Chains A and B, each alone.
Chain A
Amino acid sequence: EVKLVESGGGLVQPGRSLKLSCAASGFNFNDYWMGWVRQAPGKGLEWIGEISQGSSTINYTPSLKDKFTISRDNAQNTLYLQMSRLGSEDTAIYYCARVGRQVFDYWGQGVMVTVSS
């Protein structure tokens, strides 16, 4: 069974940084691109970006490219999202997802990030 579990969310002050993790199991993590999507409270879905199997290619949505960094540790079957200079507009549920043939086929349950003083 494919399982994705996000962690690392919580309350963070504006301007600070936060790193999210996504632990993967139930499939060969090394074989798949992985990605992140976020959803502001009561809003729709926003694609953050994706990373290739060996981390050689990382694509971001342009508006977040200078604030967010996606990485992975294949030995630990873990995906990461490093977020910096956080603002209230970054308050959202953050989902990690597996990329299967250019589609997010499995999603984690999501982790809430609240940016507030």
Chain B
Amino acid sequence: DVLMTQTPVSLPVSLGGQVSISCRSSQSLLHSDGNTYLHWYLQKPGQSPQLLIYRVSNRFSGVPDRFSGSGSGTYFTLKISRVEPEDLGVYYCLQSTHFPWTFGGGTKLELK
């Protein structure tokens, strides 16, 4: 299975600040079809995960442009600028290039 390693595990932030979350995979996530299937989710307390970014850098419907994704191969980053209270929760990366699909361990974004 592809191991997805997220860092940091916990990320204190001030409202209005900017943060980055990293996700590293044990194998390249470049698919034979030319796409890279690396996605980002936010799980707010008591809720199900919600899709933020798909295929590395594409914002899902309704996701503000404060969220941006980048990366290639085995290293990916999610950046959040001008952090707002509704951004707090646990962020997960997901790879769906290889079976079985695997998630990162999560990064908890919390207030300083």
Taking CB atoms and an 8 Å cut-off, the chain A residues in 40-97 that contact chain B are 44-47, 49, 59-62, 95
User: Contacts A44-B92, A45-B92, A47-B103 known; A103 to B54 CB distance under 8 Å?
Assistant: yes
- Per-residue CB proximity of B6-24 to A under 8 Å, as 1/0? 0000000000000000000
User: Contacts A45-B92, A61-B100 known; A105 to B48 CB distance under 8 Å?
Assistant: no
The answer to whether A107 touches B50, judged by C-beta atoms less than 8 angstroms apart, is yes
Report the count of interface residues on A (CB-CB < 8 A). Answer: 20
Interface assignment of A9: CB less than 8 Å from any CB of chain B: no
- Per-residue CB proximity of B96-108 to A under 8 Å, as 1/0? 1001111111100
| Chain A residues positioned under 8 Å from B49 (CB to CB) | 45, 95, 104, 107
Q: How distant is B63 from chain A, measured CB to nearest CB, in Å?
A: 12
| Chain B residues positioned under 8 Å from A30 (CB to CB) | none
The answer to whether A105 touches B54, judged by C-beta atoms less than 8 angstroms apart, is yes
Q: Interface residues of A: mostly helix, strand, loop or mixed?
A: strand
The answer to whether B37 touches A102, judged by C-beta atoms less than 8 angstroms apart, is yes
CA separation between A101 and B97, bound complex, in Å? Answer: 11
CA separation between A47 and B51, bound complex, in Å? Answer: 15
| Chain A residues positioned under 8 Å from B59 (CB to CB) | none
The answer to whether A95 touches B106, judged by C-beta atoms less than 8 angstroms apart, is no
User: Contacts A108-B48, A110-B48 known; A103 to B100 CB distance under 8 Å?
Assistant: no
Q: Using CB atoms, name the residue of chain A closest to B51.
A: A105
- Per-residue CB proximity of A5-37 to B under 8 Å, as 1/0? 000000000000000000000000000000000
A contacts, CB < 8 Å to B: 44-47, 49, 59-62, 95, 101-110
22 interchain pairs, CB-CB under 8 A = A44-B92, A44-B103, A45-B49, A45-B92, A45-B94, A47-B94, A47-B100, A47-B103, A49-B100, A95-B48, A102-B35, A102-B37, A103-B37, A104-B39, A104-B49, A104-B51, A104-B94, A105-B60, A107-B50, A108-B48, A109-B47, A109-B48
